[in-house]
Structure 1
């Protein structure tokens, strides 16, 4: 099973960026300087990378080799562009079903959602470039390998992705408790994108305003909410049920 690859050394990280590798996160030693570091900085300014400036002790724990003040995690999967993901869905014989994750941070929840999404025939998963759970060894394991079988797309801004989907006639359904509508009352047979939110805060208010529909699951017990991966499974399988 492929897992997250950790690389180290300024030149190595620069080469990974130039070759288009999917870099999850870059750790840089605080106070680092020099001409090679300046070259790395130029690459970082051009791209949209998650960078953390840390003490040298942190880098020593991450790498046993000569890290030169820089360590990076490379994703075990390659991401697809939003444009290709949507365009490919238009020529498919199945009705598009996208899944957008707004600020999901737990890697095990992420892996479980990926596994369920693959089982439900989801067209692709869309996540934000920043503030989202990484695809690491735990994600891969929890997904039971499904992470390698379903297209995953990273975007700079979720709202821009929503507008792009809407231009293709794809309706947006946000999972939220801030509604009286049950998921069972919606027509899920049309081209669709289901939006799931952060584990604690749910779908952000700005995203809720962009959604075409809001829906929730009935809660009959004393606990007010479900685990996000469980709720996502319920939403996806109701969609499968209606389309079957």
Structure 2
């Protein structure tokens, strides 16, 4: 974690949240108690900020400063409003292409996906406020700076974004092996949003259920799945192929 993206100390983090800074994630010391610590926890809950309870050793590794059991990571980017972004893309006259990432947790995969998204003309990436990979120094590095070029939105629940896309006339396609359709059987020529799942669990079944279509990659070897960033790249380049 880079020092310039850090805030440490309970009071400092409370003040940063109250002043409207975009906090990406807060690391809290396991088992810590006290009124001020409880105040911070309540604020984190109220603002639905991503948090992790970690041993003090982890906090000591994050910073050499007096952290008092709390270290926050400030997002190095400004997140976009989903409704405004979708409306602007539709009004621009181009065929919308969005990515919904359902609880993707690895920052390197996240960065690689952002890089590919920038190269393939993705209009925006939607992530969930809680449980996903943070936008930090590693994300920036792996994305080769693309994180500053592709709009990223945070939503309370990916399902909310799915419903909003559908209400806006954008077809939602779930990238999942739980289907007989390959990505070559699906039309990407119309406005669409592709949902990619987490590294371990894939897409939440409730999100697959409400998606308009499902598609999988044909796998000819013995290994049952591809790395999520590689799979995402295959989907995005099939979109380009069909739209050319």
Fold-level similarity (TM above 0.5): yes
SS at match of 1:7: strand
What SS does the aligned partner of 1:195 have? Answer: strand
User: SS at 1:132's partner residue?
Assistant: coil
Structure-1 separation of matches of 2:234 and 2:215: 12
Aligned to 2:93: 93
Q: How many aligned residue pairs are there?
A: 242
Offset at residue 116 of structure 1 (A):
0.3
For residues 32 and 23 of structure 1, the distance between their equivalents in structure 2, rounded to whole angstroms, comes to 22
Distance change in 2, residues 1:40/1:243 (3 Å)? same
Alignment of 1:68-147 (within 5 A): 68-147=68-147
CA displacement at 1:39 relative to structure 2:
4.3
Mean Cα displacement is larger for which, 227-236 or 15-24?
Answer: 15-24
**Is residue 158 of structure 2 the alignment partner of residue 170 of structure 1?**
no
CA change 1:182–1:45 in 2 (3 A) is closer
What is the match of residue 19 of structure 2? Answer: 19
* Distance in 2 of aligned mates of 1:189 and 1:4: 42
TM-score, normalization by structure 2: 0.92
Instruction: Could you list the structure 1 runs, at least 4 aligned residues long, displaced by more than 6 angstroms after superposition.
Output: none
> For 2:240 and 2:143, how far apart are their aligned partners in 1?
19
CA distance in 2 between counterparts of 1:70 and 1:25 reads: 11
Q: CA deviation at 1:48?
A: 0.4
Distance 1:188 1:168 in 2: 16
Structure 1 residues 116, 38: closer, same or farther in 2, change over 3 A? Answer: same
Shift of 1:97: 0.3
Q: Post-superposition shift, 1:42?
A: 4.4
CA RMSD of aligned residues (A): 1.9
2:219 touches 2:225 (CA, 8 Å); kept in 1?
yes
Alpha carbons of structure 1 residues 3 and 195: separation in structure 2 relative to 1, 3 Å: farther
1:191 aligns with 191
SS of the aligned residue for 1:99 comes to: strand
Contact residue 3 and residue 76 of structure 1 kept, 8 A: no
Q: How far 1:194 sits from its partner (Å)?
A: 0.4
Taking a change above 3 Å as real, the CA distance of residues 108 and 41 of structure 1, as seen in their structure-2 partners, is closer
Residue 45 of structure 1: how far off its partner (Å): 3.7
Report the TM-score, using the length of structure 1 for normalisation: 0.92
Q: Unpaired runs of 5+ in structure 1?
A: none
Question: Is the CA contact 2:32–2:69 (under 8 Å) kept in the aligned structure 1?
Answer: no
In terms of mean alpha carbon deviation, does 119-128 or 80-89 score higher? 80-89
